Chains A and B, each alone.
Chain A
Amino acid sequence: MAGSREIRNKIKSVKNTQKITRAMEMVAASKMRKAQERMRKARPYGEKIRNVAAHMSRAYTEYRHPFLIDRDSVKRIGIVVVTSDKGLCGGLNTNVLRMAVNKMKAWEAEGEQIEVSCIGNKGFGFMSRIGANVISHVVSLGDTPDLEKLIGAVKVLLDGYTQDRFDRVYIFYTRFVNTMKQEPVMEQLLPLSDERLKAGDGPKGQRGVWDYIYEPEAKPVIDDIMVRYVEALIYQALTENMASEQSARMVAMKAASDNAGNVINELTLIYNKSRQAAITKELSEIVGGAAAV
């Protein structure tokens, strides 16, 4: 019964795989809850700093921060691609990278230069493989997004913008809609769009111009707030991406466990059939032998 032993070994190996995928599913589920929590916690900061930036963009007219000025000609584009560090999370990274590559091709066709900043291992590996111009990258972030790790990479981009190396900066990441649905999105980071700031006005926005006292001076304070605002936007994108990653992994691993269950059922059926066939064959041989005697 060589055939049935092989089938038995196969069943055992599929069962082991199923154990792993099931464990990964549960780990992803608990990490997802934490990631969602972090995403929720990061929101108030994002909202508050947007309010302040919105008030400020109206308050002070003598100094307009470069992040707020829209440029007419767009020749060089900087993009931030947020991906996960690890794989086994379904089509999450593929989808966002495909979107980025399509956009990059379109921009290149228009003769624009593109420089890429990668957050996450998968995107970094992919971008350097396709020969994109990677100017900065942040990898192995772990499960907790750390703003401190982002500062350097973000500053490279922001400096590039203030020094006219880029005319536009976009960010690609996966937005967390719900546990079952995550969608890749592209958003414009710089120049800061007016609609985005207007959303920060809220119902009290009609109050008119804020006339702030700036201490010690207007320019450094405004600069600081703008940098923090962009950082907060990227940080939020990262927290969303991490929540998306965990839920995508959970769904992918659940599908893998279910598939393994199906395979085991089929194999068990084949195994039983072959065993039954062997028994029948043996019996008929005995009966045949007895008849011959």
Chain B
Amino acid sequence: MGVFHLDIVSAEESIYSGPAEFLVAPAEAGEVGIYPQHTPMLTRIKPGSVRIKAPLQEEELVYVSGGMLEIQPDVVTILADTAVRGANLDELKAIEAKKRAEEAMKDRSSAIEYARAQAELSEAIAQLAAIQKLRKRGH
């Protein structure tokens, strides 16, 4: 029985890399089982566990929080997500990011004012300290 090379990677680490005889993954349209020489396929996968049968080893279970699955006849790659994804969720995050940027732009004038006030304050303090020093010397 043949084997194929399996890589499971996420942006933060490499989860699995090695030969496998058989693989079950939670594809979006339902679970798929993959044997060597599978026809090339690309699909999204849902959060769930991936079952791997490596040669001469027990079956192994790996949890992935969704991602992409690429199948070639002798190489299978799972690109696992590190974050929970979804079109709506991503959209929300984008809106939030935009809003934050707009608020920061609005606040910009106040931030500059604040910095200026702070600079003036420190200048005044320095002047006061200098005056006090001069007075001490005068006595």
- Chain A positions within 8 Å of B, measured between CB atoms, are 38, 41-42, 44-45, 48-49, 51-52, 55-56, 59, 124, 128-129, 134-138, 147-148, 151-153, 155-156, 159, 210-216, 220-221, 224-225, 228, 231-232, 235
Contacts and interface: CB of A to CB of B under 8 A. Distances in A.
Contacts of B39: 213
Contacts of B129: none
Contacts of A124: 104
B77 interface: yes
Given A148-B83, A215-B43, A215-B44, 9 more contacts: A44-B17, A45-B12, A45-B79, A152-B94, A155-B93, A212-B42, A215-B42, A216-B29, A221-B68
A51 B71 CA distance: 12
6 pairs of A and B residues whose beta carbons are closest in the complex? A152-B93, A152-B97, A155-B94, A148-B83, A215-B43, A213-B41
A135 B27 contact: no
A45 B41 contact: no
A134 B104 CA distance: 9
Contact of A215 (B11, B27, B79): B27
A41 B14 contact: yes
**Which of B9, B41, B112 is most buried by chain A, counting CB atoms within 10 A of its CB?**
B9
Contact of A49 (B43, B79, B95, B108): B79
B91 interface: yes
A155 B93 CA distance: 8
A137 B94 CA distance: 11
Q: Is the interface of A mostly helix, strand, loop or mixed?
A: helix
Given A128-B105, A212-B40, A215-B27, A51 B68 contact: no
Interface of B: 7, 9-14, 17, 27-29, 39-44, 68, 70, 72, 77, 79, 81-83, 85, 90-98, 100-101, 104-105, 108, 111-112
A45 B9 contact: yes
A84 to B, nearest CB: 18
Nearest to B41: A213
Nearest to B78: A48
Contact of B100 (A42, A45, A128, A136): A136
Given A49-B79, A211-B40, A42 B96 contact: no
B108 to A, nearest CB: 5
Contacts of B96: 152
**Which of A38, A52, A220, A235 is most buried by chain B, counting CB atoms within 10 A of its CB?**
A52
10 contacts: A42-B11, A48-B79, A137-B100, A147-B12, A148-B83, A153-B94, A213-B39, A214-B42, A216-B43, A221-B43
Contacts of A224: 44, 68
Contacts of A135: 98, 101
B47 to A, nearest CB: 14
Contact of B105 (A49, A134, A235): A134
Contact of A156 (B81, B97, B112): B97
A48 B77 contact: yes
Contacts of A231: 11
A213 B40 contact: yes
A211 B81 CA distance: 25
A176 B83 CA distance: 26
B42 A232 contact: no
A41 B44 contact: no
**Which of A137, A153, A220 is most buried by chain B, counting CB atoms within 10 A of its CB?**
A153
Contacts of B44: 215, 220-221, 224
B135 to A, nearest CB: 20
Given A52-B68, A134-B104, A137-B101, A44 B94 contact: no
Contacts of A38: 12
B30 to A, nearest CB: 9
**Which of B7, B29, B43 is most buried by chain A, counting CB atoms within 10 A of its CB?**
B43
Contacts of B40: 59, 210-213
